[in-house]
Amino acid sequence: MELFPYLQQQLSKDQVNCLIKEKHYKKGEYIYLPPIKPNEMFQIISGVVKIGSYTDHGEEVCYDLLYNKEVFGNLRYLNGQFFEFSKALTDCHIVCYDLSFYKKMIVHDPLVSDWFNKTTIQRWCKMETRLFKICTLSPLNRIKALFDEFEGSVKDPNGKCFKILDLLHIVDISQMTGISRQTVSKLLKELNDTSNKKLSFSASKPYLKKLRNNDQIKL
Helix H or strand E encompassing 63 = strand 60-66
Q: Of 104-113, 115-124, 172-181, 209-218, which range is least confident?
A: 209-218
Q: Which fold has domain 137-216?
A: Arc Repressor Mutant, subunit A (1.10.10)
Mind listing the pLDDT tens digit for each residue in 181-214? 999 999 988 877 764 544 444 445 555 555 544 4
Q: What is the DSSP letter of 39?
A: S
- Model pLDDT, residue 191: 76
Same fold, 3-129 and 137-216: no
Cβ atoms of 204 and 193 closer than 8 Å: no
Q: What are the structural domain ranges in the chain?
A: 3-129, 137-216
Residue 81 has a pLDDT of 86
pLDDT of residue 215 exceeding 60? no
> What is the number of other CB atoms lying within 10 angstroms of the CB of residue 177?
23
Superfamily of domain 3-129: Jelly Rolls (2.60.120.10)
Residue 93 has pLDDT above 50, yes or no: yes
Q: Is the pLDDT of residue 23 over 50?
A: yes
Q: Say what the pTM is.
A: 0.88
Q: Is residue 79 very low, low, confident or very high in pLDDT (cuts 50, 70, 90)?
A: confident
- The kind and range of the H/E element at 190 are helix 181-193
> Mean per-residue pLDDT for 90-99?
99
Torsion sign over Cα 60, 63, 68, 74: negative
118-143: average pLDDT: 96
Neighbours of 64 (CB within 10 A): 16
Compute CA distances 137 → 50, 62, 65, 198, 201, whole Å.
24, 20, 21, 18, 16
* Confidence at residue 89, expressed as pLDDT on a 0 to 100 scale: 98
Lowest average pLDDT, out of 43-57, 102-116, 174-188, 198-212, goes to: 198-212
User: What pLDDT shows up at residue 49?
Assistant: 99
Q: What percent of the chain has pLDDT over 70?
A: 88
Structure confidence at residue 80 (pLDDT): 82
